[in-house]
Amino acid sequence: MKSIVSAPAKVILFGEHFVVYGKKAILCSINKRVTITSSKTDEAIISVKSSLGEISVPSSDSIDEINSPLLPFIYIAKKMINEFHHSGGIKITIESEIPSGVGLGSSSACCVAAAGSISNLFTKYSKEEILNLAIEAEKTIFKDASGADSTVSTYGGIIEYDKKSGFRKINTNIDLHLVIVNTKIPHSTKHVVTKVKEFIDKNEKTFSDLCEEEMKLIEKVNLALKSGDLKFIGEAMIQNQKYLDQIGVSNKILRDLIDNANKTSFGSKITGAGNGGCIIAIVDKSNIEKTLKNLQSKNNECFSVQIDSKGLDTF
Catalytically annotated residues: 149
DSSP state of 98: S
Cβ neighbours of residue 307 under 8 Å, at least 6 residues apart?
28, 29, 30, 31, 157, 158, 176
The binder of ligand MEV chosen from 189, 250, 260, 265 (CB under 6 A): 189
Least gap, CB of 90 to ligand MEV (angstroms)? 27
Least gap, CB of 161 to ligand MEV (angstroms)? 9
Q: Which residue is nearest to ligand MEV (CB)?
A: 146
For ligand MEV, which is the closer residue by CB, 91 or 195? Answer: 195
- CA-wise closest residue to 224 among 172, 299, 163, 158: 172
CA distances to 52, 154, 256, 261 from 106, in Å? 12, 13, 25, 24
For ligand MEV, which is the closer residue by CB, 89 or 277? Answer: 277
Asked if 90 contacts 2 with a C-beta cutoff of 8 angstroms, the reply is no
DSSP state of 311: -
Site for ligand MEV in 10-29 (CB under 6 A): 12, 16-17, 19-20
Per-residue three-class SS string for 37-88:
EEEEECCCEEEEEECCEEEEEECCCCHHHCCCCCHHHHHHHHHHHHHCCCCC
Work out the number of other CB atoms within 10 angstroms of the CB of residue 44. Answer: 15
* Interatomic CA distance for residues 47 and 41, integer angstroms: 10
Site string for ligand MEV, 253-272 (x = CB under 6 A): -------------------x
Site string for ligand MEV, 270-289 (x = CB under 6 A): --xx----------------
Site for ligand MEV in 111-150 (CB under 6 A): 145-146, 148-149
- CA-wise closest residue to 272 among 164, 133, 148: 148
Least gap, CB of 106 to ligand MEV (angstroms)? 10
Least gap, CB of 196 to ligand MEV (angstroms)? 8
| Chain CA centroid to CA 8, Å | 9
For ligand MEV, which is the closer residue by CB, 149 or 160? Answer: 149
Q: Would you say how long the chain is, in residues?
A: 315
Least gap, CB of 282 to ligand MEV (angstroms)? 18
The binder of ligand MEV chosen from 48, 193, 238, 261 (CB under 6 A): 193
210 is a site residue for ligand MEV (CB under 6 A): no
Number of residues that bind ligand MEV (CB under 6 A): 15
Site for ligand MEV in 45-104 (CB under 6 A): 103
Asked if 211 contacts 44 with a C-beta cutoff of 8 angstroms, the reply is no
> Residue numbers of the site for ligand MEV (CB under 6 A)?
12, 16-17, 19-20, 103, 105, 145-146, 148-149, 189, 193, 272-273
